Each structure stands twice: as structure tokens, then as C-alpha cells.
Amino acid sequence: MEKMKTPSAIPAKRDPLIDKPSHYTATTIEAIDYISDTLQDGHGFYLEGSLKKYLHRWRFKSETTEGKIRDLKKAEWFLKKLIEDIEEHGVPECHM
């Protein structure tokens, strides 16, 4: 009997508007890499903030279902980046 693929094992269709928008890759360094280099240890907080931003406004930013889904996929992209950042650097300390 063939084993079913889990959702994580199924490759996702890549959308250049989410993964590599041309306005973010127009220079020699991609915007996310520039932000990471600039913020260093604070990069995880930037990723978390961007994730929260897309989750907060996805219902209202676009009038189309396609646009709403695009914003949710952007949130997913930032979540994956945040997980990668935590796996590589650990949980950023929050000083309140």
C-alpha cells in the first residue's frame, strides 16, 4: 500500500509575488537579507512583527479572495522565516 504524503511533504507552488517580489530583489542584496544584516539579533522581532501585520490585515487589505490568500501566504512565509531564525539563533530575548 502506498504511503500518503503529508501536507509538509507536498511541495508548495511557489508564487514570485510572495517569495521573491521584483521590487525586493531589484538591488544587489535582497531586502530581507539587508534587514537581517542591519538588525542582527533583532531580526526575529522584525519577522514576528511582519507575520502579525499580515495576519491582522488579511481580511481587509484586498477585496478579492486571491488577494486575501496572497496575504495569508505572506504571513506563512514570515512564519517559516521566523522558525528558521529561531532554529538557527534561538528564541530572541524580550526585555520588558
Q: Is residue 52 part of a domain?
A: yes
Q: Is residue 57 part of a domain?
A: yes
pLDDT along the chain (96 residues), means of 10: 46 68 76 89 92 95 94 96 93 81
Q: Is residue 27 part of a domain?
A: no
Helix, strand, coil share of the chain (percent; to 5): 65, 0, 35
What is residue 30's predicted lDDT score, i.e. its pLDDT? Answer: 86
pTM of the model: 0.72
CA gap 83, 63 in Å, rounded: 30
CA gap 89, 47 in Å, rounded: 13
Full residue range of the structural domain in which residue 79 is found: 47-91
What is residue 26's predicted lDDT score, i.e. its pLDDT? Answer: 74
